[in-house]
């Protein structure tokens, strides 16, 4: 916020010709240790859909997890931006598709030839929709399949900082050194007002992307307000610190809940999300006390019943240890009464 306020002082060239945007370009290149082309936009949907439209023709197919955010939560944006490209969803209990799945799907597509969409790209969500994180080896294996078919690899990094902190490697290792070609770098969920960026690690892949952004209404005249947010965000004590805090609180939450009777952890807690099954009485009790979370069906675990109710818990950079402890204590108390 301070960064945006500062950017409001004085008058600067419009449409990205400003100093903030120039500095952002250099900053991202430094963070990722390679030349990049960076395009700030205001929403994650825009970042993902623009990136996918850039790497898939209308007659292309993009391999991804069948319940990926781009499939279920962006109102068909990738299809709209690309003029008709198809998202080809693959099943994955933990949200992570595998190199073997992708290789098999591509082989099947090639058999169908011109009747089927052309294998065009692969999109991975990192951290995934189930709070898990692809390892570098998993990404590299998928990227190797992609390379055999000359397909670009996109990473939906709405929660990239959380994944990065979990992996404990450099941003470069987490992306292009593992075979990622284009990254939707999220900032909004981890502290920004409304700022994301499309980062191309291969400048050639970014050809004419500028016009694609403009045509879709995502080029701000006062672009400095986005760039300034991202500049401020990419300070280590902001993006990494925020993600570290959020991840730590998710881990604390997991540990706190683990000891309660009837609690079952449904996914590995790699980032800042937990999916747990609790007895109906506990869930209802927490809701009654005003805690905010969603009942969230998890494949293989019914939303209600003997197996309990599955819910999603999300921590953020603003989550405190006291809040975690309070939630756990409340759950414990309700559980002990029921």
Residues making contact with a copy of itself (CB under 8 A): 1, 4-5, 8, 11, 15, 41-47, 49-50, 57-61, 72-77, 79-87, 112, 114-118, 188-189, 193-194, 208, 210-212, 214-222, 225, 318
Cα(241)–Cα(164) distance, rounded to whole angstroms?
11
Q: Give whichever of 59 and 291 is closer to a copy of itself, judged by the CB atom.
A: 59
| Least distance (Å) between residue 16 CB and a copy of itself | 9
Q: Give whichever of 5 and 170 is closer to a copy of itself, judged by the CB atom.
A: 5
Q: Give whichever of 112 and 322 is closer to a copy of itself, judged by the CB atom.
A: 112
| Least distance (Å) between residue 215 CB and a copy of itself | 4
- DSSP, collapsed to helix, strand or coil, labels residue 297 as coil
Phi-psi region of 337 (alpha: psi -120 to 50; beta: other; left: phi over 0): alpha
Contacts of 227 (CB under 8 A, 6+ apart): 7, 16, 18, 20, 21, 23, 24, 40
Query: For the stretch 188-226, what's the b/e string if a residue is b when 16 or more beta carbons lie within 10 angstroms of its beta carbon?
Result: bbbbbeebbbbbbbeeeebeebeebbeebebbbeebbbb
| Least distance (Å) between residue 220 CB and a copy of itself | 5
- Residue 68's CB is within 10 A of a number of other CB atoms, namely 25
Q: Give whichever of 82 and 128 is closer to a copy of itself, judged by the CB atom.
A: 82
| Least distance (Å) between residue 231 CB and a copy of itself | 16
Q: Give whichever of 96 and 189 is closer to a copy of itself, judged by the CB atom.
A: 189
Q: Give whichever of 58 and 262 is closer to a copy of itself, judged by the CB atom.
A: 58
Cα(113)–Cα(295) distance, rounded to whole angstroms?
42
| Least distance (Å) between residue 208 CB and a copy of itself | 6
| Least distance (Å) between residue 1 CB and a copy of itself | 5
């Amino acid at each position: 916020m301070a960064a945006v306020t500062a950017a409001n002082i004085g008058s600067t060239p419009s449409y990205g010709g400003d100093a903030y945007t120039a500095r952002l370009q250099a900053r991202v290149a430094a963070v990722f240790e390679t030349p990049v082309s960076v395009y700030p936009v205001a929403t994650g949907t825009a970042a993902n859909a623009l990136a996918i439209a850039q790497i898939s023709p209308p007659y292309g197919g993009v391999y991804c997890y069948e319940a990926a955010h781009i499939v279920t939560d962006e109102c068909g944006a990738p299809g709209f931006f690309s003029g008709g490209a198809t998202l080809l969803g693959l099943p994955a209990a933990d949200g992570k598709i595998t190199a073997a799945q992708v290789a098999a799907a591509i082989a099947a597509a090639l058999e169908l030839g011109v009747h089927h969409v052309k294998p065009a790209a692969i999109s991975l969500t990192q951290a995934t929709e189930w709070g898990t994180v692809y390892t570098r080896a998993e990404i590299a294996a998928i990227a190797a399949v992609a390379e055999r078919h000359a397909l670009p690899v996109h990473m939906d990094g709405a929660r990239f900082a959380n994944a990065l902190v979990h992996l404990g490697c450099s941003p470069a290792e987490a992306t292009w050194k593992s075979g990622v070609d284009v990254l939707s770098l999220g900032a909004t969920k981890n502290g920004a007002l409304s700022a994301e960026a499309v980062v191309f690690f291969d400048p050639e892949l970014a050809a004419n992307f500028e016009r694609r952004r403009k045509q879709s209404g995502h080029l701000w005249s006062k672009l400095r307000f986005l760039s300034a947010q991202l500049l401020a965000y990419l300070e280590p004590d902001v993006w990494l610190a925020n993600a570290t805090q959020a991840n730590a609180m998710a881990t604390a939450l997991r540990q706190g809940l683990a000891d309660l009777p009837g609690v079952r952890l449904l996914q590995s807690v790699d980032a800042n999300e937990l999916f747990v099954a609790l007895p109906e009485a506990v869930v209802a009790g927490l809701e009654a006390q005003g805690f905010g979370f969603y009942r969230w069906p998890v494949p293989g675990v019914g939303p209600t019943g003997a197996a309990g109710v599955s819910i999603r818990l999300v921590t953020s950079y603003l989550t405190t240890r006291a809040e975690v402890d309070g939630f756990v204590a409340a759950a414990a108390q309700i559980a002990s009464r029921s």
